[in-house]
Chain A
Amino acid sequence: MSQPAVLDKSGIERVARLAALSLAPHEIEQLASELEAIVRHVEELNSVDTSDVPPTYNVQLKPSPLRADVVEQSLPVDKVLAEAPRHAHGGFAVPAFVEG
């Protein structure tokens, strides 16, 4: 691997921030030890020579066809909003995130 894996406590905190997960301190400790073992196992891939091997991003047999651009009925707005934890003024309500 080009860089050593850093999944210690601070590494987990960094990745948790990227993943928008607010972890409790006891979860971070537990995850650090479990993920270290898993990453060590994953690093066995290092022993495989892949210098001339292209990646397989997907296993689709044929390229995806484009479907006709036909307007279809959308879900009714009131029913969709009824699923939301909070809604207001015909939209999803969230805490303010723009100053002013």
Chain B
Amino acid sequence: MKMSVVEIAEKVRKGSLRAVDVANETLKQIEAQNSSIHAFLHVDAKGLLEQAAAVDAKRDRGEALGPLAGVPVALKDALCAKGMPATSGSKILEGYVPLYDATVVAKLRAADALLPGKTNMDEFAMGSSGENSAYGPIKNPWDTARTPGGSSSGSAASVAGRMTYAALGTDTGGSIRQPASLSGIVGVKPTYGRVSRYGAIAFASSLDQIGPFASDVRGAARILRTISGHDPHDATSLNAPVENFEAACEKSPRGLRIGVPEEYFAAGLSKEVRASVEKAIARLESDGCTIKKVHLPHTKYAVATYYVIATAEASSNLARYDGVRYGLRVEPNRDLKAMYGATRDAGFGAEVKRRILLGTFVLSAGYYDAYYLKAQKVRTLIRRDFDNAFNEVDAICSPTAPTTAFRIGEKSDDPLAMYLSDIYTLPASLAGICGISVPCGMGAGNLPIGLQIIAPALREETMFTLAAACETHCPPVSPSGS
């Protein structure tokens, strides 16, 4: 598995590589690694081989192939694909098989991508380590005693271990960027509204975005272009032109102004991450970028703001799981309310219950103004911080996460400590702007470090130009050395 997304697609399109061979290699890698990594919850071997055969047949007939011809793209289990189970990492959805494709899945199929299966995740995307999956934790291929990050843990781990070539995840407060950083791959959180969320199992609707993981920047760019665009089925999807993000990867970063926020280099940042990120920024400076200090003074309130807003929205979104129409039902007696309560108590895990309760509390009579409304106002200030910074710079560079991958179990007894590990990714989510994590070095124990590049809304091109420049200094590596 040494090829990139773009190499596979181009070889399959030219006919020098058969999609069926890619599919077989993917299945072989999943077979070899999944029992130790636990990245996939469902592998659709039959579907994968059929899709691959269809791509090869299409080529044999002389028909034009799509931009992701023969590229296996794993799907986070929060995304619906017709005929494949979708649990969102929860027992409450055990056995649920969607009758339709999410828009992103339909777009992948139309681009001739292959769909190997569904990846493990923190339940309803609530977590930063994969430990909140109802189906057991996901291991980091770089060190199986450690987490790959979360919540898109299986998507990140499957690409890091080269079990698949790419994957989709969802990012609400960092759930693509943080696992990309901890797993040594590229992960993109697009601008809010860039990608349709139709068919994504909702967590916090003012924050959720779908985005790609790939081993390299160009691969992520190609997938993002494929899944972006307006969708009549999602009222929040933007009717904005979709640029050629891959072409942006070829551009020189010379002349771009990079902001470095000092609030992101404060207490809590590990020395090795700081050193590696500062080195990456210095390399961009030597590529011709201008480096400038910027201030994002409300950064320290991002965790509190996020945990009010995201839990409030989650408490509303997760009200739909009532045991009536699909998924789990527990019926202790012939009473409807008892059925709701027992189903939800049995179906949701501890972290999900914690967040539903916090969200219900901050929205409840007497507390709404003090918590929910207050957080929405601080959100405005966080957003203004970025607006002010982007008056002076084209992009912001920072660490993606304060540390390299932490040990499984290290933070699982302390929810607040876990929440604080998302401090660098939450602000951009609250502001609705775009961000990418790109590998920028290795820390102690051969653990990857990621650079986060944040750009203004709909300026993904700037982000890709800088990420590709960073990658030329720090080419993709995998735990097996390929």
Contact = CB atoms under 8 A, between A and B. Distances in A.
B339 A95 contact: yes
Main SS at interface, chain B: helix
B345 A23 contact: yes
A11 B432 CA distance: 33
Given A20-B344, A59-B192, A94-B324, A3 B353 contact: no
Contacts of B308: 42, 45
Given A22-B342, A61-B238, A83 B97 contact: yes
A35 B355 CA distance: 9
Nearest to B367: A3
B100 A15 contact: no
Give the interface centre of B367, B415, B432 by most chain A CB atoms within 10 Å: B367
A15 B364 contact: yes
B356 A38 contact: no
B361 interface: yes
Given A34-B415, A41-B304, A95 B357 contact: no
Interface residues of A, number: 58
Given A22-B342, A31-B357, A55-B380, A3 B370 contact: yes
Contact of A38 (B236, B307, B324, B370): B307
A18 interface: yes
Contacts of B323: 85
Interface in A1-26: 1-3, 5, 7, 11-12, 15-16, 18-24
B133 interface: no
A84 B324 contact: yes
A71 interface: no
Nearest to A23: B345
Contacts of B232: 67-68
A89 interface: no
A21 B336 contact: no
B389 to A, nearest CB: 16
Contact of A48 (B99, B301, B329): B301
Q: How large is the interface on B (under 10, 10 to 19, 20 to 34, 35 or more residues)?
A: 35 or more
B103 interface: no
Contact of B235 (A11, A30, A64, A79): A64
A3 to B, nearest CB: 6
B354 interface: yes
A1 B360 contact: no
Contact of B380 (A12, A16, A54): A54
B431 interface: yes
A30 B351 CA distance: 12
B206 A20 contact: no
Interface string B300-339: 1101110110000001000100111111110101111111
B27 interface: no
B358 A35 contact: yes
Contacts of A7: 361
A45 B306 CA distance: 11
B325 to A, nearest CB: 6
Interface in A70-98: 75, 79-80, 83-86, 92, 94-97
Contacts of A84: 324-326
Contacts of B319: 19-20
Given A44-B304, A95-B334, A2 B369 contact: yes
B59 to A, nearest CB: 32
B394 to A, nearest CB: 18
Contact of A21 (B356, B377, B383): B356
Given A15-B357, A94-B339, A42 B371 contact: yes
Nearest to A59: B432
B257 to A, nearest CB: 22
Interface of A: 1-3, 5, 7, 11-12, 15-16, 18-24, 27, 30-31, 34-35, 37-39, 41-46, 48, 50, 53-62, 64-65, 67-68, 75, 79-80, 83-86, 92, 94-97
